[in-house]
A = this chain, B = another copy of it.
Amino acid sequence: MTSPDVGRYEQHTAPAGTDPELVRTAAGLVDMMLSAWSEPEQERRRAVLDSCCVPEVSYVNLLAEATGTAAVAELLGRLTAQFPGVRPVRSSALDFHHRYARFEWVIQNEAGQPLLQGLDVIVLSEEHDRIASVITFFGAVNRTATYTYGVPAYGAP
């Protein structure tokens, strides 16, 4: 779809997020956040998160959630302690607009073998200078069902 006339809605002459500087900033924040997984010490993990996230950052995946850089750092520590050497690697470009970005990642073991893939959506702070929220989805999107006008012909909802 080409740029619609959205009238009195907030409209961008250039779509938000096509500002290369802003996309690079968001990508840098994401990669800093992911690097926290590789910090074995709680205080260093938290310091990394403090450098790229708001203090009250929220993190949620299928299995757990945490709020605040200290709690998120502790959660990452517990997750990685069970799987030494694993780390997430960003595997796509950042698709960014307004305060939102999506990207895919792969959790690899020390040998670089993929263990789990997924997609994160992050919400930036209003100032666009910190990550405010991370919403994580495990695995690929399930396209195995067939939908007809939104109604599944069979299979999953």
Contact = CB atoms under 8 A, between A and B. Distances in A.
A95 B142 contact: yes
A92 B143 contact: yes
Given A9-B71, A62-B15, A95-B141, A1 B107 contact: yes
* Copies, count: 2
A90 interface: yes
Interface string A66-94: 10000100110011001100011111111
Name the prevailing secondary structure of the A interface residues: mixed
Given A98-B65, A100-B135, A90 B9 contact: no
Contacts of A115: 1
Contact of A147 (B24, B89, B107, B139): B89
Contacts of A147: 89-92
Interface of A: 1, 3-7, 9-12, 15-17, 20, 23-24, 26-28, 30-31, 34-35, 60-66, 71, 74-75, 78-79, 82-83, 87-95, 97-98, 100, 102-104, 107, 115-116, 119, 121, 135, 137-139, 141-145, 147-152, 155-157
